[in-house]
Amino acid sequence: MDNILEVSHISKSFKDHTIIKDLNFTVKEGDFFSILGPSGCGKTTLLRMIAGFLEPTSGKVFIRGEDMAGIPPNKRPVNIVFQSLALFPMMNVKENIAFGLRRRKFKKQEINDKVSSMLERVGLAGYEKKSVTQLSGGQRQRVAIARSLVLEPSILLLDEPLGALDRKLREHMKIELKLLQAEIGTTFIYITHDQSEALVMSNQVAVMNNGNFDQLDIPKNLYKFPSTSFVAGFVGETNKFSITTEAIGGNEIIIKTKNGWRLNKQCNNAESYKYLFIRPESVILKPEKRLQDISRFTIRVKTILFDGSDTKISALVEDTEEIMLISLPQNAQFEDVVVGDEIEAAVHHDDLKCYKE
């Protein structure tokens, strides 16, 4: 697939405050591409430059190979859906969706056909005459998306569009949006601070930190092979330890955590590291004797956290003050774990993720 968007060496400063720093990336046609990052990292600023509401301080945006410099938002082949949705409350569903088509002077019959087909696609056929004020949050969301998609943009930009919905509806809309995008095939660029939204919906996710991307990858790799400690801490649940390390020959290091836990790890580069991350589900409880390339330790169960589908324990590691969150496998063997139990545990060396900074 060809690149539909190329962002080339883009920077943006407000006065002497640089928000985006020499950012480079491409998006392929048909991608569901998410930009994931904490509040204030520059996501909206980046989106506004792609849409044309802001000019970059330096660098360029190309859409389908065309330089967008100086091209105003309404002349770019993109459309944007905001968190606020910005629907017109005095108009009904059909009028809201038809608004942009009317402004572009489409003929009446063509407008009717396009609106009907779009309503069908977003599952709102028959809602034409309803006032948008009478719709549920999820339905309003779909009207806002339909209103943007009916103009057939090459790229649809979505700025935290599920942010205002309650949790249950957000879960539902995540799946709906993913299905809708797959069906229509328009390239979506979606910004969010919610890692679960980004992982579930996208085929490419860029994790943004301080005005640049730390990692651009498929969701599975972000989770399994985070390239920086920021990504390891931001994407998914994890245990983070401040550590010092010592090389002891061969490719082995000793890791010492701040609170006194010591463990060994085999690694390709026996260098010095500052942080250790361990995913709750990568802790093996009651490891078999024959398992190799693992670090063994004991844990003492402190609390048991049950949240319906999942059970986790928080435990003290060895005789230290180090606390670790561990997912309990859905396995009858662990059903009778109680507070105070001392249990053998281990982590595979590959699952001990060490970072220098």
Q: Which region, judged by CB under 6 A, interacts with ligand ATP, from 42-50, 168-176, 275-283, 292-300?
A: 42-50
In degrees and rounded to multiples of 5, residue 89 shows phi and psi of -65, -25
Q: How far is the CB of 288 from ligand ATP (least distance, A)?
A: 46
Tell whether residue 14 is a contact of ligand ATP (CB under 6 A): yes
Q: Is the Cβ–Cβ distance between 100 and 150 less than 8 Å?
A: yes
Tell whether residue 41 is a contact of ligand ATP (CB under 6 A): yes
Q: Is the Cβ–Cβ distance between 135 and 145 less than 8 Å?
A: no
As a whole number of angstroms, the distance between CA 355 and CA 242 comes to: 10
Tell whether residue 43 is a contact of ligand ATP (CB under 6 A): yes
Tell whether residue 34 is a contact of ligand ATP (CB under 6 A): no
Q: Is the Cβ–Cβ distance between 57 and 12 less than 8 Å?
A: yes
Q: Exposed, middle or buried: residue 46 (CB in 10 Å: 0-12, 13-18, 19+)?
A: buried
Q: How far is the CB of 167 from ligand ATP (least distance, A)?
A: 18
Q: How far is the CB of 40 from ligand ATP (least distance, A)?
A: 5
Secondary structure letter of residue 336 according to DSSP: T
Tell whether residue 260 is a contact of ligand ATP (CB under 6 A): no
- 174 or 193, CB closer to ligand ATP? 193
- 42 or 280, CB closer to ligand ATP? 42
**Quick one: which of 44, 96, 229, 257 contacts ligand ATP (CB under 6 A)?**
44
**Quick one: which of 9, 22, 24, 40 contacts ligand ATP (CB under 6 A)?**
40
Secondary structure letter of residue 92 according to DSSP: B
Q: Is the Cβ–Cβ distance between 346 and 295 less than 8 Å?
A: yes
**Quick one: which of 45, 186, 204, 229 contacts ligand ATP (CB under 6 A)?**
45
Q: Which region, judged by CB under 6 A, interacts with ligand ATP, from 40-48, 88-96, 261-269, 336-344?
A: 40-48
- 86 or 291, CB closer to ligand ATP? 86
Tell whether residue 37 is a contact of ligand ATP (CB under 6 A): yes
- 13 or 227, CB closer to ligand ATP? 13
Tell whether residue 39 is a contact of ligand ATP (CB under 6 A): yes
How many helical (H) and strand (E) elements, i.e. helices and strands, does the chain have? Answer: 8, 20
**Quick one: which of 31, 42, 97, 158 contacts ligand ATP (CB under 6 A)?**
42
H/E segment holding residue 155: strand 155-159
Q: How far is the CB of 52 from ligand ATP (least distance, A)?
A: 15
Closest CA to 278 of 290, 295, 301, 298: 295
Q: Is the Cβ–Cβ distance between 22 and 59 less than 8 Å?
A: yes
Q: Is the Cβ–Cβ distance between 88 and 99 less than 8 Å?
A: yes
As beta bridge partners, residue 60 has 8
As a whole number of angstroms, the distance between CA 212 and CA 226 comes to: 16
Judged by CB under 6 A, the chain residues 147 through 206 that form the site for ligand ATP are 193
Q: Which residues bind ligand ATP (CB under 6 A)?
A: 14, 19, 37, 39-45, 193
